[in-house]
Structure 1
Amino acid sequence: MHPRSGAALLFDIDGTLADTDPLHLEAFNRTFEPYGHHFDKARFALELQGKANEAIARRFVPDLSPEQQMAVMAGKEQLFRDLAGTEIHAVPGLFELLDLADASGLPMAAVTNAPRANASLILDGLCIRDRFRALVIGDELAHGKPHPLPYLEGLRLLGADAGLSVAFEDSRTGIASATGAGLRTIGIRTSLAHPDMIAAGASMSADRYDDEALLRFIAAIVERLEVVASS
């Protein structure tokens, strides 16, 4: 089936395609405990989740030089990759939704603030790299999330219209980026609760991709496109 004109699905990676947040939490704690910081799940969701490494380093190791800060963050990311090597699991229902998108002619992009090595590890670990027409890395752009640029770039690469497309996110930072780009956003509740996601700007939230309300949301988009195509 040909891609449907203007419509697309855009996904964050960490905590959205795969429930990797517990691994990031462990890696952050191992990395920052020597500097006097410890994070529980709530603090992780508020202060770390979805944020760019440069911003995290400036906040939590401000006395280090920029080069030393990024060395600390590089060590954290390597530790995450070591932990994730055998522990990557898709959010339930993901593969079925990807199949639905392909069958409906909806192109997809992955949009992340994670380093490219992390993104590749997760996409390859789930064997879904080829499902995405575009991969956008926030650190490789002039601005990462929460700036809208990563999602605007994803839309550009897909030739998609924000008003016809949907983003999936798990963090406040990511929701701000997606909604700032004009996308309706569905929150995936791997870390944040429903009220937090709605307060951040999500249109709805779900624990998993086979949630009935989520599937109805996507089916309504496909139905509207079919009406437009036949008119």
Structure 2
Amino acid sequence: MVVLANCLLPTPGLDRLISLTDRASIKRAVVTNAPEDNAIFMLKTLRLTDTFPTVIMAKDAPPGKPDPAPYELALSRLMVKSKRAIAFEDSAAGIRAANDAGIYTIGITSSHPAEDLLTAGASMTIEDFNDEQLWELLGSKTKAVG
């Protein structure tokens, strides 16, 4: 487990995305199908526990993804309407869950090819959070909010 902790790194550009959401007072949540121990371990190892105070796991909203219940619970806890949310997902099940909750969904190609994520319903795909297409989209969305 120590070896895994030493190799675990956040997706490139995550710090930039977190800074933007801080500046714009945008709420954040983690919605995961990972077992609780794994999710907590990853958040602690990446020092993101305080960054994501709202964490929704499959056990919190059964049956979990691809059902939209986990995303619906996150929206409820954040007190955010689905049309004002963006989900970042790396799996077809996650994309279907977010889409079915009415959330604009971006696929991250860390574990599946872009074609698979787009077929599942992603509105666009990115390799990581440094993608310029993402930042153009976020710029337009944060201007609309502000």
Q: TM-score range by the shorter chain?
A: over 0.9
Residue number among 177, 189, 212 corresponding to 2:109 in the alignment: 189
Which portions of structure 1, spanning 4 or more consecutive aligned residues, are displaced by more than 2 angstroms?
A: 81-86, 139-142
TM-score, normalised to structure 2, is 0.95
Alignment correspondent of 2:50: 130
- Map 1:143-158; keep pairs closer than 5 Å: 143-158=63-78
Distance 2:35 2:127 in 1: 25
Residue number among 129, 140, 145 corresponding to 1:220 in the alignment: 140
Task: Confirm whether residue 87 of structure 1 aligns to residue 7 of structure 2.
Answer: yes
Helix, strand or coil for the counterpart of 1:85? helix
Q: Give CA-to-partner distance per residue, 1:79-130, whole Å, 9 cap, x none.
A: xx56633221111111111111111110100000111111111111111111
Residues 100, 144 of structure 1: alpha-carbon distance in 2 compared, 3 angstrom cutoff: same
Distance 1:218 1:144 in 2: 28
Task: Confirm whether residue 113 of structure 1 aligns to residue 29 of structure 2.
Answer: no
Q: How many residues align?
A: 146
Structure with the greater alpha carbon radius of gyration: 1
Identity fraction in percent = 34
Q: Give CA-to-partner distance per residue, 1:153-199, whole Å, 9 cap, x none.
A: 11011000100110000000110111110000011110111111111
Task: Confirm whether residue 167 of structure 1 aligns to residue 82 of structure 2.
Answer: no
- Map 1:198-213; keep pairs closer than 5 Å: 198-213=118-133
Task: Report the AA paired with residue 140 of structure 2.
Answer: A
- Map 1:95-110; keep pairs closer than 5 Å: 95-110=15-30
Task: Report the AA paired with residue 219 of structure 1.
Answer: G
The answer to which structure has the higher helix fraction is 1
TM-score, normalised to structure 1, is 0.61
Unmatched tracts of structure 2, length 5 or more: none
Shift of 1:139: 2.4
Unmatched tracts of structure 1, length 5 or more: 1-80, 227-231
Distance 1:193 1:204 in 2: 12
- Kept in 1: contact 2:86–2:104 (CA 8 A): yes
Distance 2:62 2:44 in 1: 26
* Bigger relative contact order, structure 1 or 2 (CA pairs below 8 A, ≥6 apart): 1
Distance 2:144 2:6 in 1: 41
